[in-house]
Copies of this chain bind each other. A is one copy, B any other.
């Protein structure tokens, strides 16, 4: 492998020199994502401006054996975009143009580096909606969203990113440019490679362009936050709300999670408190909301609650849920992101609670998540007096136990954060040996030289 010096020289002949970065601050900035668990150590960072430049980089990597790490907004939480071993980071920041809009197809064609929030804004400007949404919308890029099949807070109504991608342009690990599905609704012509790239975390190819389908704007939304006295009430409440309202989100957090948001400037939603809270978003309907609330109160499922009466209030209520991650960020928590089938949520929650009480007696564990999708986020906080190494080892040990529970229940050890570097060791709790072998076979087809994001998802 060439030296870092040689690498920068060679790359500066492939790309305009100002698109090749090697200052220590750049290497650190572009070499890591939001996981903050792995020390970044790329050889260089490049900012290609065209598909041809991406192809040239792939050809160079095959020639030299220096691997490439595709990089979007680096808001990932599993280390999928981390470059820790002298790789070259290929950041899509300069491929950030909207390429076109087709009103009949409600189709927005974008380059991979467009920020998620910009896609949402572009959709809104056309009276439409890009419905994939999550807290890191202001930094994450659409290419990364597709590479991880991003989920978020509106999956209940709109599904995951996968559902909104009608075309993809990719550059494979052999440098081929593929124009996949071309924005068609129907195209039954063999294996749908588009769906293979969605969620592949940059290990099969670079996503360089995408056709996004936009949805009609939904009616005005309202938000309610409800205080839930017992774990057992959560799923009956979910069932009640999805029967009585047109539900778009059913989010969940504990009183402990709320206390962190309140400590960071969040506003208490009502006087009463309870061990659990639910945030529900729905097609505005005051009367139906009140009826649901009253019935839930009568059934003992809720102890208190509030329904938004303005957009500003809805945003405030959303902040109680969306602000959790940020309120914990300074503690760099160890994170689990797990899912089970919706029907398994109550059983899983009790087993998880018992596990944590047994295994984490000394740690603060904050949990919250997208309960309507069976998806729970768990943040374990390191005691101030514990060394980071020992803490990580402990959390890894308990994650393996959690993996066993999930394996037994048919759940997943990574619901929406991908495998990256951090979750890959736990893959066998979700996917069988046969599946993992097949995934390796696929990797060999698309990236025979192993130059794309090595060490992530599967090994060659």
Residues of A within 8 A of B (CB): 102-105, 107, 148-149, 151, 155, 159-160, 162-163, 172, 176-180, 182-193, 195-196, 198-201, 204, 235, 238-239, 339-343, 345, 370, 373-375, 410-419, 423, 427, 430-432, 434-436, 438-439, 441-442, 445-446, 457-458
A447–B288 Cα distance when bound, in Å, is: 54
CB of B187 within 8 A of CB of A339, answer: yes
Chain B minimum-CB-distance residue to A187: B412
Extra pairs beyond A104-B238, A189-B412, A189-B423 (13, CB < 8 Å): A103-B343, A105-B341, A105-B343, A178-B435, A184-B411, A186-B375, A186-B412, A187-B412, A187-B430, A190-B436, A192-B195, A192-B196, A193-B439
Chain B minimum-CB-distance residue to A186: B415
Chain B minimum-CB-distance residue to A428: B189
CB of B343 within 8 A of CB of A104, answer: yes
Chain B minimum-CB-distance residue to A200: B191
CB of A375 within 8 A of CB of B185, answer: yes
**Assuming A189-B423, A419-B190, A431-B189, is B107 touching A184 (CB within 8 A)?**
no
Which residues of B have CB within 8 Å of A340?
184
CB of A188 within 8 A of CB of B148, answer: yes
Which residues of B have CB within 8 Å of A413?
189
CB of B155 within 8 A of CB of A186, answer: yes
A438–B192 Cα distance when bound, in Å, is: 11
Question: Distance (Å) between the CB of A459 and the closest chain B CB?
Answer: 12
CB of A196 within 8 A of CB of B191, answer: yes
Number of copies: 2
Q: Name, among A177, A190, A431, the residue most crowded by chain B CB atoms within 10 Å (CB to CB).
A: A190
**Assuming A183-B341, A235-B104, A410-B183, is B438 touching A188 (CB within 8 A)?**
no
A412–B167 Cα distance when bound, in Å, is: 13
CB of B104 within 8 A of CB of A186, answer: no
Which residues of B have CB within 8 Å of A177?
434
CB of B188 within 8 A of CB of A192, answer: no
21 A-B contacts (beta carbon < 8 Å): A102-B342, A104-B341, A104-B342, A104-B345, A105-B343, A105-B374, A151-B188, A155-B185, A163-B163, A176-B438, A178-B435, A182-B341, A184-B411, A186-B373, A190-B199, A190-B200, A190-B436, A191-B439, A192-B195, A193-B435, A193-B438
Question: Distance (Å) between the CB of A186 and the closest chain B CB?
Answer: 4
The 8 Å CB contact of A186, one of B151, B178, B187, B419, is B151
CB of B160 within 8 A of CB of A186, answer: yes
CB of B435 within 8 A of CB of A445, answer: no
A436–B118 Cα distance when bound, in Å, is: 35
CB of B431 within 8 A of CB of A441, answer: no
**Assuming A163-B159, A183-B410, A442-B442, is B341 touching A427 (CB within 8 A)?**
no
Ranked 6 nearest A-B pairs via Cβ:
A104-B343, A195-B195, A441-B445, A186-B415, A187-B412, A176-B434
Question: Distance (Å) between the CB of A460 and the closest chain B CB?
Answer: 13
The 8 Å CB contact of A184, one of B148, B187, B412, is B412
A373–B434 Cα distance when bound, in Å, is: 37
Question: Distance (Å) between the CB of A69 and the closest chain B CB?
Answer: 17
Chain B minimum-CB-distance residue to A345: B104
Question: Distance (Å) between the CB of A345 and the closest chain B CB?
Answer: 8
Which residues of B have CB within 8 Å of A375?
185-186
A176–B432 Cα distance when bound, in Å, is: 10
A61–B457 Cα distance when bound, in Å, is: 33
CB of A196 within 8 A of CB of B199, answer: no
Which residues of B have CB within 8 Å of A412?
184, 186-189
CB of B446 within 8 A of CB of A188, answer: no
CB of B341 within 8 A of CB of A102, answer: yes
A107–B431 Cα distance when bound, in Å, is: 21
CB of A190 within 8 A of CB of B431, answer: yes
Question: Distance (Å) between the CB of A319 and the closest chain B CB?
Answer: 23
A188–B201 Cα distance when bound, in Å, is: 10
